Every structure is written in C-alpha cells, then in structure tokens.
C-alpha cells in the first residue's frame, strides 16, 4: 500500500454525552490529470495508490493504447502532484465516442457507448459457490487501505483458486482499471478469469470486465438493471450479494456450481 493513499485527520467524536478529539486515518481522494503526448486527456478522481497501473488500465480500456509497447514513458510527476505524463511511441488515437460520466463515488469517465459492439463472452470457466465465497473473504482480508481507514472499494482478479491481483480505490471503476493495468504490465492474462468486487456492479463495471474477456463478475453488493441487461447480451455471469455463503445468480448460472 502506498502511504500517500491515507491521510491523518483530526475530528470530534461524540459518544453519548461525552465528546473528544481524535486523530484517525482517512482515505485520500484526489484529482490526477493524465497528459498524453503533451495534451491533457482527462482528470480522474481516485485514491493515489497504484497510479501507474490505473493510467495503463484506463488508456487501454479507452482504446488510447493497444498494449504496453505503445507506451514510451509514463511518469507520475512528484514535483507537480496531480499530473501524470504519458508519452506514446506514436500519435495517440482519439478515444471513441463522447465522454460519459460514470456513476458512484470517486467519479470517473469513459468515452464508450456501453450498448455498442462488445462481442459475446465465450468461456468454459466454471467455479463453485464455495470457491466464490472463500475468495470474497480473502479479498476483504487483502484490503489494507480499507482496514486502516475505510472508505474504499476493493476488487480482485482470480483464476478461481487464488487472488492474482488486488486493487483498492474510492471508485469502483478505478479498481478494475488498476487491475487491468497491473495485468498488462506483468503479462498476466485476464481472459477466462473471475472478477470479485466489494462494490455495486454497475454498467461500467460490466463493460470493463467484458473488455478484459472476464466471464464471471461477483460482488458483495447488487447489480443494476443496465448491468444485467448488458451481461445477458454479452453472455456474462453476474453474482451478487456474496455474503456468509449465500449469493444470487442473475445471469448464466451454469458457470457457478453448487460444490
């Protein structure tokens, strides 16, 4: 965990008739502006942890780059906090479509038409309900920012047996970009994997998972109706309310086994 992800904050705590001053950690939320080849592209509100992976994941998700070879330099500017400078090997392509603000805390942005040309996800991956429950418990135990300060979402990519990559952020969508960027950097395949998240499964979460060719998305929380409509169109499995061994299967339940 990057120490810059947490700040100490002093506040007044009431307990019945008593009050006291306490100093506790709080999670950071800060704007970071991405410049590509000297041109400002977008400003992201995020938790400043794994920023390099967040930028890589965002750029590949938005079609600005196709892979790591397209990136000549990626620099988080220490002397100019809030700026991330990216230089590409060639002129950057324009992101597709009009900007679309994403829902939820830690507001993000995508240039996608979420109802567009994403192909159906074909996968033979199957996992058991007990595996999903165990992996969700492991995700909660591997979330150091949340344990220290609260206020973050956590997501993880799994092969069904273990957590491969874990990310935390104030924005649900940022966690998936961080995961995709880290996988890109380390050469970890995302196809035919399982994504777990503590936050709501919204349409942008399903869209980002589909671009990673992930067939199963599981959450401790609920999916939205648009997320379910997209998942059904794209043949993805959505699992919600994974808690205490219970869970709801909303689409393609054949990928989740009883045991």
* Catalytic residue annotation: 105
In three-state form (DSSP H/G/I as H, E/B as E, the rest C), the secondary structure along the chain is: CCHHHEEEEEEEEEECCEEEEEEEEEECCEEEEEEECCEEEEEEEECCCCHHHHHHHHHHHCCCCCCHHHEEEEEECCCCCCEEEEEECCCCCCCCCCCEECCCCCCCEECCCCCCCCCCCCCCCCEEHHHHHHHHHHHHHCCHHHHHHCCCEEEEEECCCCEEEEEEECCHHHHHHHHHHHHHHHCCCCCCCEEEECCCECHHHHHHHHHCCCCEEEECCCECHHHHHHHHHCCCEEEEEEECCEEEEEECHHHEECC
Give 76-82's long-range contacts (Cβ < 8 A, gap of 24+).
76/51, 76/52, 81/30, 82/30, 82/31, 82/32, 82/33
Distance CA 156, CA 153 (A): 10
How far apart, in Å, are the Cα atoms of 51 and each of 45, 147, 181? 11, 20, 9
Distance CA 98, CA 41 (A): 13
């Amino acid at each position: 965990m990057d120490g810059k992800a947490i700040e100490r904050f002093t506040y007044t705590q009431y307990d019945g008739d008593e009050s006291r001053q306490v100093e506790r950690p709080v999670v950071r939320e800060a704007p970071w502006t991405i410049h590509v080849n000297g041109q400002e592209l977008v400003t992201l509100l995020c938790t400043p942890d794994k920023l390099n992976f967040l930028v890589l994941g965002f750029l590949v998700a938005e079609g600005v780059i196709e892979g790591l070879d397209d990136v000549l330099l990626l620099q988080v500017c220490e002397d100019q906090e809030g700026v991330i400078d990216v230089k590409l090997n060639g002129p950057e392509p324009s992101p597709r479509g009009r900007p679309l603000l994403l829902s939820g805390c830690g507001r993000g942005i995508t240039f996608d038409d979420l109802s567009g040309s994403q192909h159906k996800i074909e996968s033979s991956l199957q996992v058991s309900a007990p595996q999903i429950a165990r992996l969700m418990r492991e995700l909660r135990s591997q979330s150091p920012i949340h344990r220290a300060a609260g206020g973050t979402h956590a997501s993880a990519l799994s092969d069904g047996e273990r957590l491969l990559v874990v990310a935390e952020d104030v924005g649900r969508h940022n966690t998936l970009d961080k995961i995709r960027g880290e996988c890109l950097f380390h050469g970890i395949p995302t196809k035919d994997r399982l994504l777990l998240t503590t936050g709501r499964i919204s349409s942008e979460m399903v869209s980002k998972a589909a671009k990673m060719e992930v067939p199963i998305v599981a959450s401790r929380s609920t999916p939205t109706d648009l997320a379910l409509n997209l998942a059904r169109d794209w043949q993805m499995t959505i699992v919600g309310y994974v808690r205490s061994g219970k869970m709801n299967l909303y689409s393609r339940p054949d990928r989740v086994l009883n045991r």
